[in-house]
A and B are shown apart, each in its own frame.
Chain A
Amino acid sequence: MSTTTVGTGRLPVVKRSALAKEYNDGRYMIERNLIAYKRVPQLLVFSTIQPIIFVLMFRYVFGGVVALALPPSIPYVDYLMPGIFVQTVVFGSLAAGVGLATDLKSGLLERFASLPITRSAVLVGRTGADMVRNIFVVILMFVVGTIVGFRVHTNVLGLLASMALVVYFGYALSWIFATLGLAVKDPETAQAAAFPILAPLVFASVAFVPAESLPGWLQPWANHQPVSAVVIAARRLVLGGPTASYVIEALIWCTVILLIFVPLGVRTYRRAI
């Protein structure tokens, strides 16, 4: 890190290596977005109330029916909670699109585009802040689950790996919705456009019910779509049984999403303004 001057009167500039700059610009943007969660706690409260209601509803209302389709050694709440973790980050990933569309409308992205920051900083800041939020929310859901009887069958390492996988998936999804938000350029549209994408992914999945309980034509989709892949891997990590191949499938999904949507998102960002 060194200091240089670039022009008359201009305050001295910090010279950073490309990597340090990438890190710093992203960090400042993450901080900026996290302050919003601190200042507007409603954002966080409402995004956690919904999954808590889901936990209670599925645990106490639908749980009895679903449990009939499960092996007796697995209580429904243990089956349910990894699904809840995933559902929480999936719906939370919407925030990236809504947030970026809002910044675009307010003119903030125009200002950022005129500043000497890396091309990815704005998106890294948004998705990074949402990842921090997801870590918090997944831990919260674990606590809520534990209160209603959730028990890990494997060990702490399995639980941490399961949560980490879910957070990684949420991060990948944030890039999809970041791209979508910048493409539609309007917060309300971003919100509205996301639901039809998310609903079939979350509800036609094995997040809450076993695939066998779904109609035959839906089962191939429900077994292999990304949300299910991640739910199955997250579930195996806490419930035990053969795990490695499921985790690999889930990791491939997340990584493929990132490989497509990181460059696409950055491109969309530059064209959106």
Chain B
Amino acid sequence: MTTAVKVTGLKKRFSDVQALDGIDFEIPEGSIFGLLGPNGAGKTTAVRILATVHRPDAGTAEVLGYDVVRDPHEVRMRIGLAGQFAAVDPNLTGRENLRLMGRLAQVEPSYIPPRVDELLASFDLVDAGDRPVRTYSGGMRRRLDVAASLVQKPPVLFLDEPTTGLDLQSRQELWNTIRTLVQEGTTVILTTQYLEEADQLADDLIVIDHGRIIAQGTAGELKRQLGGTVIELTMGEGTDVDKAVSLVGAVVGREPERQGMLLRMPSPDGSHLLTQMLRELDDEGVQPTAVALREPSLDDVFLALTGHAAEEAEAQGNGRAS
């Protein structure tokens, strides 16, 4: 298999923030690669460097064999980018936006109108195609934005948080579109804060935090690293949650994560630990109202790796990721 993207020792600093602090990865052609991490982790910076928008301070990045610094034009001929914002012109109609992107991507003119019709149809924008984009809903804009990155049928596609602001149905439709593109040979690089999304789509993924890769592999591998299952105990009103935390902590050997009345902890040996835990709690008269044993999600992976949840990190992040 040939390599679509190759990144070595990539570093980028913005005045006071080290956005990327030396990252390496390789993406085989025709796969979906997930870049995961909280806001400000460096995902967007990595995408912008690969899409030739920013230049790296150090390290190299190649797209289909072309260096992003030495041959930016060749890279631009082969990529599509849907950035973090719905970057379409509000005064143009949907059709005009797509036509403009086709022209700027230097597509042979006779190929543009049929391609635009095709995209309007597959993104459910046929009826809205001749209306100015400023009359669109947020979800429609986002769909048009993704469509705009596909006009030239780019061999390598960058999607920076493509489903942010989409409802569940649109999100699933977009996932299907992405899967179809990959079947046709496109390589997709996807950043997301939705761990569920990476789980659903990505063949391989890296988790970035503070500009460094803190984990990589398939979603399955990452979950296995965490060990079998996750235990969740919901404590009822009036129970001594602090006491429950210390009791459970003593059994597991580490403090469980606490969210209000919910205690959560990974369990390498599944139900055995749970039984022991419940016996301890029962002896002390602390009764959980609900008990759950489930497969770990990437959220659990993220928590285990960084010590904080993805959502918390997002709240702490200072707005726009750079």
Which residues of A line the B interface, CB within 8 A?
3, 6-14, 16, 21, 24-25, 28, 32, 35-36, 39-40, 106-108, 110-117, 121, 273
Contact = CB atoms under 8 A, between A and B. Distances in A.
A106 B87 CA distance: 6
A18 to B, nearest CB: 11
Nearest to A12: B108
Nearest to A24: B103
Contacts of B184: 9
Interface of B: 48, 51-54, 64, 73-74, 76-92, 96, 100-109, 111, 115, 132, 148-149, 151-155, 158, 184-186
Contact of A9 (B81, B108, B155): B155
Contacts of B105: 11, 115-116
B106 A9 contact: no
Given A107-B83, A107-B86, A114-B51, A10 B78 contact: yes
A34 to B, nearest CB: 10
Contact of A116 (B77, B84, B91, B185): B77
B87 A12 contact: no
B77 to A, nearest CB: 5
Given A39-B92, A111-B87, A116-B105, 19 more contacts: A8-B185, A9-B184, A10-B77, A10-B152, A13-B107, A14-B106, A14-B107, A21-B106, A28-B103, A39-B132, A107-B85, A110-B87, A111-B101, A114-B52, A114-B81, A116-B73, A116-B106, A117-B104, A273-B54
19 contacts: A3-B108, A6-B78, A8-B155, A8-B185, A9-B185, A11-B102, A11-B107, A14-B108, A32-B96, A35-B91, A39-B92, A106-B90, A108-B89, A110-B53, A114-B53, A116-B76, A116-B104, A117-B104, A273-B53
A41 to B, nearest CB: 11
Which 8 pairs, one residue from A and one from B, show the smallest C-beta to C-beta distance?
A: A107-B85, A107-B87, A116-B76, A36-B91, A7-B155, A114-B81, A114-B51, A12-B108
Given A10-B78, A107-B86, A113 B53 contact: yes
B76 A114 contact: yes
A10 B153 contact: yes
A9 B30 CA distance: 12
A116 B48 CA distance: 15
B202 to A, nearest CB: 21
B87 A108 contact: yes
Contacts, number: 112
Nearest to B96: A35
A116 to B, nearest CB: 4
Main secondary structure of the interface of B (DSSP, over half): loop
A11 B64 contact: no
B76 A115 contact: yes
A11 B115 contact: yes
A109 B101 CA distance: 12
Contacts of B106: 13-14, 16, 21, 116
Contacts of A28: 100, 103-104
B192 to A, nearest CB: 17
A273 B52 CA distance: 11
Contacts of A116: 73, 76-77, 104-106
Contacts of A9: 153, 155, 184-186
B153 A11 contact: yes
Contacts of A117: 104
Nearest to B82: A111
Contacts of B104: 25, 28, 112, 115-117, 121
Contacts of A35: 91-92, 96
Contacts of A110: 48, 53, 81, 83, 85, 87
Q: Which of B80, B91, B104 has the most CB of A within 10 A?
A: B104
A259 B170 CA distance: 49
Contact of A40 (B77, B91, B108): B91
A11 B100 CA distance: 15
Given A7-B155, A10-B78, A14-B108, A113 B52 contact: yes
A3 B108 CA distance: 7
B293 to A, nearest CB: 43
Given A9-B153, A116-B106, A106 B64 contact: no
Contacts of A3: 108
A109 to B, nearest CB: 8
A128 B103 CA distance: 18
Contacts of A111: 81-83, 87, 101, 148-149
B54 to A, nearest CB: 8
Contact of B109 (A14, A21, A108, A112): A14
Contacts of A21: 106
A111 B81 CA distance: 7
A13 B111 CA distance: 10
Contacts of B115: 11
Given A28-B100, A111-B87, A13 B108 contact: yes
